[in-house]
């Protein structure tokens, strides 16, 4: 397990974005990078601390660049004087790096954000070495669930959501997509190696095949959609998933609107039809003609090429248009 620490203004608003991410085991709200002893909510600002969240995550399931992508979607990175309605250095945005690798990845992520032309003003979010972090009082932990009415009033009045929606589109900061969610460009090789797990990279970029019956979604029974782990483009839905007995996720057809590529594959002494995603050109798996009626097709797909979005999370993840698929 590894640790990531981010400051993005009020920790009430930042904590929920990370809590439900696959691979994240714990998210704590607290006070970071100060000098005085024993900070509390009453005096942390006087002691030089900033409100922050500390995340414990499994890097084999979610990478640090993926967490960075989620972080940028919660803040105004051009504001050095606080965040939204909360002003002062105790509310400034910052990335607190725990090692040299995190610093390098954070700086690269900040450079990519600056080059995206999303903002008119320069990126002001600081990247510094992590020092101390003190967990905040219990009543601040998961505040959005403990006092939802208070939380919603505060969030609505802060101006955070209208700003984030203006930058990232509908859903704004409520969306916490792991990278892979609907990007306009395909990342370069080095970025993909940093962002994806080794297995995800091998499958999507090197046409590898994962082990049957030992992958994440072969026996999934939750309702939702699957998107490309690289680009976030919607590919399949559980409405069309069936148990083929092969040990990999199997689908009778792609989701409506998916731009699936079909290519001849003559490797390994066989003649097969390879399946690739349309936007990111990710290797997904293979297509066979032994599926159920009415299509008679079986899209045999590697779990490592997919990210699953449960039906209850479609709206906040930015895929609300697919909710109708699961309405009775």
Catalytically active residues, by annotation: 10, 300
Q: What are the distances in angstroms from CA 273 to CA 213, 285, 290?
A: 22, 9, 13
3-class DSSP state for residue 229? coil
Q: Can you tell me whether residue 155 is helix, strand or coil?
A: helix
Enter the DSSP assignment of 174. Answer: G
User: What is the edge-to-edge ordering of all strands in the sheet holding 133-135?
Assistant: 126-129, 93-97, 2-8, 50-57, 24-32, 133-135
- 48 by Cβ neighbours in 10 Å (0-12 / 13-18 / 19+) ranks as middle
d(CA 208, CA 201): 9
- Give the helix/strand (H/E) hosting 294: none
What sign has the CA pseudo-torsion 266, 267, 268, 272?
negative
Residue 50 CA, chain-centre distance (Å), reads 24
Alpha-carbon torsion, ordered 69, 72, 73, 74, to 10 deg: 130
Distances (CA, A) of 9 to 31, 124, 161, 294: 11, 14, 13, 53
Q: Which residues of 230-269 are buried (b: 16+ CB within 10 A; e: fewer)?
A: bbbbbbbbbebbeebeebbbbbbbbbeebebeeeebeeee
User: Nearest-5° angle of CA 209, CA 212, CA 218?
Assistant: 105
Cβ 25 vs Cβ 1: under 8 Å? yes
Query: How far apart are the two ends of the chain, measured CA to CA in Å?
Result: 40
């Amino acid at each position: 397990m590894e640790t990531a620490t981010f400051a993005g203004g009020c920790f009430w608003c930042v904590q929920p974005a990370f809590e439900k991410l696959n691979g994240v085991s714990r998210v704590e709200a607290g006070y970071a990078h100060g000098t005085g002893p024993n900070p509390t909510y009453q005096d942390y600002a006087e002691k030089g601390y900033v409100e922050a969240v500390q995340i414990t995550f499994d890097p084999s399931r979610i990478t640090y660049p993926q967490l960075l992508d989620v972080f940028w979607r919660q803040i105004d990175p051009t504001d050095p004087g606080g965040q939204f309605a909360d002003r002062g250095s105790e509310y400034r945005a910052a990335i607190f790096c725990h090692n040299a690798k995190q610093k390098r990845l954070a700086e690269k992520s900040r450079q990519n954000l600056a080059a995206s032309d999303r903002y008119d003003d320069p990126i002001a979010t600081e990247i510094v070495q992590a020092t101390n972090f003190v967990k905040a009082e219990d009543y601040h932990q998961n505040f959005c669930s403990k006092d939802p009415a208070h939380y919603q009033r505060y969030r609505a009045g802060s101006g955070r959501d209208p700003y984030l929606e203006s930058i990232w589109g509908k859903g704004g900061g409520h969306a916490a997509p792991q990278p892979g969610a609907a990007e306009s460009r395909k990342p370069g090789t080095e970025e993909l190696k940093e962002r994806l797990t080794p297995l995800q990279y091998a499958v999507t970029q090197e046409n590898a095949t994962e082990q049957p019956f030992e992958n994440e979604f072969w026996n999934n029974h939750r309702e939702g959609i699957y998107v490309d782990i690289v680009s976030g483009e919607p590919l399949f839905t559980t409405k069309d998933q069936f148990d083929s007995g092969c040990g990999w996720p199997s689908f009778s057809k792609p989701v409506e609107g998916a731009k699936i590529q079909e290519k001849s594959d003559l490797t390994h002494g066989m003649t097969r039809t390879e399946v690739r995603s349309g936007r990111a050109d990710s290797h997904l798996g293979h297509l066979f003609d032994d599926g159920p009626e009415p299509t008679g097709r079986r899209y045999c797909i590697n779990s490592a090429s997919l990210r699953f979005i449960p039906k209850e999370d479609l709206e906040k993840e930015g895929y609300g248009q697919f909710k109708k698929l699961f309405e009775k």
